[in-house]
Structure 1
Amino acid sequence: MSEENLKIADIIFAYIKGTITDSELGELTAWMDAAEDHRELFQQIMTSASYQNKETVYRRFDSYYDFDCLKGAIRKRKRSVWKYVAAAAVIVLPLLVSFLLQIKQEGIFPEERMREISLLPGKSLATLTLSDGSSRVLSLENFDLIDGSKRIVNDPDGLSYQVEDTSICGEIAYNEITVPRGGEYKVTLDDGTRIWVNSESYIRFPVVFHGDERRIWVSGEVFLEVTKDAERPFIVNTEKLDIKVLGTQFNVRAYPDEKCIQTTLVEGCVQVDNLRGKVAVLLPSEQLVYDALDGNHEVREVDTELYVSWKDGVYMFVSQRLEDIMSLISKWYDVDVFYQNSAVKDIIFSGRLKRYENAETLLRVFERLGGVKFSVQGKTVIVEDE
Structure 2
Amino acid sequence: MSKQSIENRIIDYLEGNLSESEQKSLAAWVQEKDGNARYYAEVKDVWESSYLNASEIADTGNEWNRFKTHIQDVSIKSASQLKKVLRIWQSVAAVVAVLLLTVSFFMFFQTEADTGSLIVKTVVPSGEKSKLELPDGTSVWINSASVLSYNTDYGRDNREVKLDGEAYFEVATNEALPFKVLTKDCEVKVLGTKFNVMAYETAPVTETSLLEGRVDVALFDGTRAEIKPGQLAYANSEEGKLQVVEGNIQNIICWKDNVLKLDNTPLSEVIEKLSKWYGVQIELKNSELLAQKRFTFTVKSESLSELLSIMKLVQPLEYQIKGEQVFITILNP
Please state if 1:251 is matched with 2:196.
Answer: yes
Which of 288, 298, 315 is matched with 1:352 structurally? 298
How far 1:173 sits from its partner (Å)? 4.8
Q: Is contact 2:221-2:240 (8 Å) kept? A: no
Q: 1:93-132, aligned counterparts within 5 Å?
A: none
Distance change >3 Å, CA 291–CA 372, structure 1 → 2: farther
Match of 1:67 in 2: none
Unmatched 5+ stretches in structure 1: 1-131, 161-170
List aligned pairs for 1:1-386, cutoff 5 A: 141=45, 142=54, 144-146=58-60, 148-150=63-65, 151-154=68-71, 156-157=82-83, 173-211=118-156, 213-343=158-288, 344-354=290-300, 356-386=301-331
The one-letter code of the counterpart of 1:364 is S
Q: C-alpha distance in 2, partners of 1:218/1:158?
A: 23
The structural deviation recorded for 1:375 is 2.6
1:177–1:203 contact (8 Å) kept in structure 2: yes
- Look up the SS of the partner of 1:224 in the other structure: strand
CA contact (8 A) 2:70 2:134 kept: no
Q: Which is further off, 270-279 or 224-233?
A: 270-279
Q: 1:366 Cα shift? A: 1.0
SS in 2 for 1:258: coil
Residues 69 and 134 in structure 2, CA contact (< 8 A), matched pair in contact too: no
Greater relative contact order (Cα 8 A, min sep 6): structure 1 or 2? 1
How many residue pairs get aligned? The number is: 244
Judge conservation of contact 1:189–1:207 (CA < 8 Å) in 2: no
Gaps of 5+ in 2: 1-19, 31-36, 46-53, 73-81, 87-115
CA RMSD of aligned residues (A): 2.8
Q: Distance in 2 between matches of 1:200 and 1:347?
A: 26
Larger Rg: 1 or 2? Answer: 1
Q: Which amino acid aligns with 1:291?
A: N
Q: Tell me which amino acid in the other structure corresponds to 2:220.
A: L
For the residues of structure 2 that align with 1:195 and 1:252, how far apart are their CA atoms? Answer: 11
The answer for the alignment partner of 1:98 in structure 2 is none
For residues 186-218 of structure 1, the C-alpha deviation after alignment (integer angstroms, 9 at most, x for no partner) is 110111100011111111123453445311111
- Relative to total residues, which structure has the larger helix share, 1 or 2? 1
CA drift of 1:145 comes to 4.8
Q: Is the 8 A contact 2:172 2:192 kept in 1?
A: yes
1:55 paired residue number = none
Shift of 1:381: 2.0
* Matched residue, 1:18: none
Which AA in structure 2 matches 1:353? V
State the TM-score, normalized to the length of structure 1.
Answer: 0.57
1:300 & 1:285 partners in 2: Cα distance?
9
Kept in 1: contact 2:70–2:133 (CA 8 A): no
* Cα pair 1:152 1:159 within 8 Å, conserved: no
Structure 2 CA distance for aligned equivalents of residues 180 and 229 of structure 1: 31
Task: Quickly say closer, same or farther: Cα 1:256–1:154, change in 2 above 3 A.
Answer: closer
Q: Report the alpha carbon displacement of residue 292 of structure 1 after superposing the two structures with TM.
A: 4.5
Distance 2:206 2:170 in 1: 19
String of CA shifts for 1:323-368, please: whole Å, max 9, x gaps.
Answer: 21221110121211212112235421111101x5412222111111
Task: Please give the alpha-carbon distance, in whole angstroms, between the structure 2 residues aligned to 1:244 and 1:159.
Answer: 31
Partners of 1:367 and 1:374 within 8 A in 2: no
Cα distance change of structure 1 residues 210 and 349 upon mapping to structure 2, 3 Å threshold: closer
Partner residue in 2 for 1:34: none
Measure, in 2, the Cα distance between the counterparts of 1:286 and 1:159.
Answer: 37
Cα deviation, 1:55-89, whole Å, max 9, x if unaligned, reads: xxxxxxxxxxxxxxxxxxxxxxxxxxxxxxxxxxx
2: distance between equivalents of 1:258 and 1:173? Answer: 28
Say which is worse superposed, 195-204 or 209-218, in terms of deviation. Answer: 209-218
Inter-CA distance 307–313: structure 2 relative to 1 (3 Å threshold)? same
